[in-house]
Structure 1
Amino acid sequence: MSHTDQSRQAPVLHLEDVTRVHGQGAAEVQALRGVDLKVHPGEFVAVMGPSGSGKSTLLTLAGGLDTPTTGQVLVEGVALGTLSRKKLAQVRRRSIGYVFQDYNLIPALTAAENISLPRELDGLSARAARREALAALEELGIPELADRFPDDMSGGQQQRVAIARALIGERRLVLADEPTGALDSTTGEAVLAVLRARCDAGAAAMMVTHEARHAAWADRVVFLRDGRMVDESVSQDAASLLVSAAANSRKVDE
């Protein structure tokens, strides 16, 4: 689907003039400043920027893990800030898949149990949830990890299990914070191919990355600096992204 066709559809994610302030007085930090961003069905958006630019804050707000100081976050047209805690938890289980930097796997559960837990909490039978979990592990190329506990996995294996958990079910929005950080380059590319395929099947995805070659998998790249969106470009190829990333990094240094 072309970028123009995507933009004609209602966005899966809309951050509407979002600001996030941490602390007060002399300790006040503006993590995000007036960010307006839409991610449409079938669209894969990469977020780049220097350390401290607000990338992770953007993801936590998009996933309903934090609330904006001003502005609002809408997922499939629903303003997350208007929901009760119970309703918000439902939206996060059903509509949003989140890949954390530190995996957040439950040590006492096997890979398959970690992955199927959100589906069971949502009322799916244990057997059906396990079937979906095994399919997600197969999609990530790690079916042999199904009955292994997190402590018996490498960091890269834990990361792929966490990604499988984010993709299980009909998640319409996938949010990923440096999803390839613990992976070797071959496995990282395979994971990005899975995220790309999910978008091609109609989901929306937003990924924080510092690697231009990873951002090249995206349809669009958003650059943040000091909490503001400073640039946005339609992804062409890795080479043009490297040039763009270098230009933006020069702006940061100036």
Structure 2
Amino acid sequence: MMPARAAAGVPETTLVVPALELIDITRTYGTAENQVHALRGVSLTVCPGELVAVMGPSGSGKSTLLTIAGALEIASAGTVRIGGHSVGQLSATERAAVRRRNAGFVFQDYNLIPALTAGENVALPLELDGRRPRAARREARRALMEIDAVELTDRFPDEMSGGQRQRVAIARALVGSRRLILADEPTGALDSVTGELVMRLLRSRIDAGAAGVLVTHDARYAAWADRTIFLRDGQVVQSAATPGGPETLLGVGLQ
């Protein structure tokens, strides 16, 4: 496994615009006695060149944090900024444009379009953003090649295994020049060898200047991050730089 690396630092004189800022984020569902607090005052800043792992037990708010970070869901309170731009007051169409241009998602359930081939699924975000189809397909093929899945280019999702679908979903998240990668258990359906390949690709994209948030339950994969935060009951209960962070945080979660 690749050794953990120190958090990316910048000189104090350098102005760095965070790729992602979550400021005092609260998310509630339901009303009155049926109200559920998924997140309670969570703040997180992720800068270019930084990968943050998010760990915690089931129901702790990890996936909610990720969907709010990518403007798929609106916070009940607090501020979300992507690339320095606040997204809370944007229309649904404007939020979709911000996501398409800035954020690549890897979902637990893949979210591939059944009627499109792997190549078409990966190229779709580029085409929606105005890229010519032929150029978008070339980039999609390169992304699939990076993830060692180019042989899937012309296959439809129902012709693939779960692990193959996940690799296509990862290629779609990495295609183009997105500066924020949001991954929800991206190695969950993969064997250990492919899982390490995925983490190497994710880490290389971060080292090239993107920012990333990785939701994972596995300390082996959290060790690839620069720091790890642990959620419990919708709150950040601990944050630690890696190495040493995941094991410490897992201990907190078991108390």
Query: Smaller-chain TM-score range?
Result: over 0.9
TM-score when scaled to structure 2? 0.94
> Which aligned pairs between 1:1-254 and structure 2 lie closer than 5 A?
2-5=7-10, 9-236=16-243, 240-251=244-255
TM-score, normalised by the number of residues in structure 1: 0.94
Distance 1:90 1:242 in 2: 34
Checking the alignment, whether the CA contact within 8 Å between 2:222 and 2:246 is kept in structure 1 is no
AA matched with 1:199: I
* Alpha-carbon distance in structure 2 between the residues aligned to 1:91 and 1:49: 28
The alpha carbon displacement at 1:43 in A equals 0.4
Hey, what's the Cα distance between the residues in 2 that align with 1:6 and 1:33? 32
Structure 2 runs not aligned, ≥5 long: 1-5
Opposite residue 241 of structure 2, the aligned amino acid is V
Contact 1:6/1:43 (CA < 8 Å) preserved in 2? Answer: no
Partners of 1:42 and 1:99 in 2: CA distance: 19
Instruction: Provide the aligned length of Structure 1 versus Structure 2.
Output: 248
Distance 1:67 1:25 in 2: 20
SS in 1 for 2:88: helix
Amino acid at match of 1:66: E
> 1 CA distance for matches of 2:16 and 2:131?
30
Deviation at 1:2, TM superposition (A): 4.7
Gaps of 5+ in 1: none
Give the percent of matched residue pairs that are identical in Structure 1 and Structure 2.
58
Is the CA contact (8 Å cut-off) linking 2:56 and 2:231 kept in structure 1? yes
Taking only aligned residues, the RMSD between alpha carbons, in angstroms, comes to 1.4
Q: Would the aligned equivalents of 1:6 and 1:40 in 2 still touch at CA under 8 Å? A: no
